[in-house]
Structure 1
Amino acid sequence: MLDDQKKLSKSPKVEIYQFINALGDEGISAVLPVVGLTQNSGEATSQLAGTAVFKQDKLQYMFDEDDTKYYLFVMDKIKGGLLVVNKTQNSSNAGNFTLDIDSNKTYVKPVYSKGKLSFEISIKTKTTLGEIDDNKIKFTSQSEIEKLEKQAQTVLKQNVERVIKAVQSGYDIDIFGFGLKVKQDMPELWKKIKPDWDDLFKNVQVKANAEVRIKHAGLLSNPIMMGD
Structure 2
Amino acid sequence: EGLDEVFDAMERHHQFRTTAKLVIARGHSAKEVLSVLTPIDKISARQIIQMLKFSELAWGETSNIDIWRTVRDIAVSQRNPVMTGVAIEGDPRKGKRQENVQSSVPDARIKLDGLALFKNDRLVRWVDGPTARGMMWVLERIQHTNLTVPWEGKKEAIGYRTTRSKTKVKAKIKNGRPSISIHIIAEGELSESRIPINLADTSLLFRLEKELERSAKEDVTKAIKAAQREKTDVFGFGAAVHRAAPRLWKKIEKEWHDRYFPELDVTVTTDMHIRRTRMWDKPY
Write the distance in 1 (CA, Å) between the matches of 2:154 and 2:263. Answer: 35
1:188 aligns with one of 233, 236, 247: 247
Using the TM superposition, name which of 172-181 and 30-39 deviates more.
30-39
Shift of 1:151: 0.7
Q: Does 1:25 align with 2:76?
A: yes
Partner of residue 142 from structure 2, selected from 60, 64, 78: 78
Q: Residue 187 of structure 2: SS of its match in structure 1?
A: strand
Q: CA deviation at 1:180?
A: 1.6
Q: Give the partner amino acid of 2:201.
A: S
- Alignment of 1:112 onto 2:197: no
Which stretch shifts more, 211-220 or 184-193? 211-220
- CA shift at 1:42, angstroms? 4.1
Residue 5 of structure 1 is matched in structure 2 by: 55
Distance 1:66 1:49 in 2: 13
Quote the residue 1:174 is aligned against: 233
Partner residue, 1:141? 201
**2:55 counterpart letter in structure 1:** Q
Give matches, 1:1-228, under 5 Å. 1-7=51-57, 8-39=59-90, 41-86=105-150, 96-135=157-196, 137-168=197-228, 170-198=229-257, 199-217=259-277, 219-223=279-283
The structure-2 alpha-carbon separation of the partners of 1:73 and 1:193, relative to structure 1 and needing over 3 Å to count, comes to same
Q: Which has the higher contact order (CA 8 A, sep 6+)?
A: 1
Could you tell me which amino acid in structure 1 is paired with residue 247 of structure 2? E
Q: Which amino acid aligns with 1:73?
A: W
* Partner residue in 1 for 2:4: none
Counterpart-to-counterpart distance in 1, 2:107 and 2:87: 13
Q: Deviations over 1:14-37 (max 9, x none)?
A: 111001111101111112110012
Name the SS of the counterpart of 2:126 in structure 1: strand
Give the drift of 1:162.
Answer: 2.1
Larger Rg: 1 or 2? Answer: 2
Helix, strand or coil for the counterpart of 2:115? strand
Does the CA contact (< 8 Å) of 1:33 and 1:49 recur in 2? yes
Aligned mates of 2:52, 2:211 — CA distance in 1: 31
C-alpha distance in structure 2 between counterparts of 1:190 and 1:79, whole Å? 32
Alpha-carbon offset, residue 56 of structure 1: 1.5
Residue 93 of structure 1 and its aligned partner are, at CA, apart by: 5.3
Letter in 1 for 2:161: D
Structure 1 counterpart of 2:24: none
Between 1:30-39 and 1:17-26, the stretch displaced more is 30-39
AA in 1 matched with 2:272: V
Specify every segment of 5 or more residues in structure 1 that has no aligned partner in the other structure, as ranges.
none
Q: Distance in 2 between matches of 1:13 and 1:110?
A: 26
Specify the code of the residue in structure 2 equivalent to 1:75. Answer: L
Contact 1:138 1:222 in 2 (8 A): yes
